[in-house]
Amino acid sequence: MDLVSIVCRRRHFSPRTEESYRYWIKQFIYFHEKQHPNTLGAPEVESFLNHLAAERRVSASTQTQALNALVFLYDTVLGKPLGEMTGLKRVQRRQRVPVVLAREEVKAILEHMTGVPRLMAELMYGAGLRVNECVTLRVKDIDFAMGVLNIRAAKGSKDRTTLLPERLHDPLKQQLLRVAQQHKDDLSHGAGLAPMPSALARKYPSASSSLAWQFVFPSTVLRPWDEAGRLARWHTSDSTVQRAFRAAKSLAGVHKHASVHTLRHSFATHLLASGTDIRTIQLLLGHRSLQTTMIYTHVLEVTRKVVSPFDSLDP
């Protein structure tokens, strides 16, 4: 498992991808009674993946994730390619329409949120951010002059630029003032570092202690970071805004099966409804394929106001 992590990091996979691969490789090993993968092969991989589909009834994306992890294990880590697996039963992928909140529902939910979680939710809706993109935002990534957010190393290790809502300029500036004061206090106590991606800490030794690299939504605690055990302030947890959103949704009386990620779907759908070009929305969301963004046209067709023939019947 250590070798799996080493290869993942050498290939600059995201920490979440590494965690996912390690999880499915462990599940595969446990399924075959802790036999070493070197003694197993394609038939055993097939039986495990078929078990996920038939017995555990996982989704198509979950089965694909497990398949990718095992192909990576055998092809890249062990150097024993699996080859063609003719007995593999793939879960049928279903085309699902994402849940979208109406503007009134978004407003009602946000009104029941307070403090930093509310600002995070407003930013996710106003800029179309994923949860991880929001919590990992750094001070240097906010450009008030241009009115944009620079999203770094997002899904697929891609950078992109998205809009910064004008109404959030002042709240964000107030948040940055609080971050700056906290950073100043940390420095006075021998801390004040922010974890740096890849090898940038060695390339720019003083950058981690600068305000520019601090997280916009920092954690409330300091944790050891590097080999020397220096204290750094990471970003806040994803669960901070997720819990606050769930509570606010309940208080607002919104019964849709929505999570905080639904704000990103709502951002795209509301832009499309207001006449924004689909290509522009693709760029703002950071989708690789336009086909992915096109799902919101289906959402709009469903939610567009159409008069039922029943309503036209004489009373």
pTM of the entire predicted model: 0.81
The per-residue pLDDT for 304 is 65
- Short-list 76, 85, 72, CA closest to 44: 85
Alpha-carbon dihedral sign for residues 289, 291, 296, 300: positive
pLDDT 10s digits, 10-67:
888 888 899 999 999 999 999 999 999 999 989 999 999 999 998 999 989 999 999 9
Please report, for the chain, the start and end positions of each structural domain, with discontinuous segments joined by +: 2-77, 97-305
The per-residue pLDDT for 205 is 83
Distance CA 32, CA 28 (A): 7
**Residues assigned a catalytic role:** 130, 155, 261, 264, 287, 296
**What's the CATH number of domain 2-77, 3.30.70.980, 3.90.550.10, 3.40.50.300, 1.10.150.130?**
1.10.150.130
The per-residue pLDDT for 206 is 87
Residue 193 has what DSSP assignment? B
Q: What angle do CA 112, 115, 119 make, to 5 degrees?
A: 85
Residue 77 has what DSSP assignment? I
**Beta bridge pairs of residue 224:** 231
Instruction: Identify the segments of the chain with pLDDT beneath 70.
Output: 301-306
The per-residue pLDDT for 201 is 77
Please count the residues of the chain. 315
**What's the CATH number of domain 97-305, 2.40.37.10, 1.10.443.10, 3.40.50.300, 1.10.10.10?**
1.10.443.10
Give the type of residue at 21.
Answer: Y
The per-residue pLDDT for 105 is 96
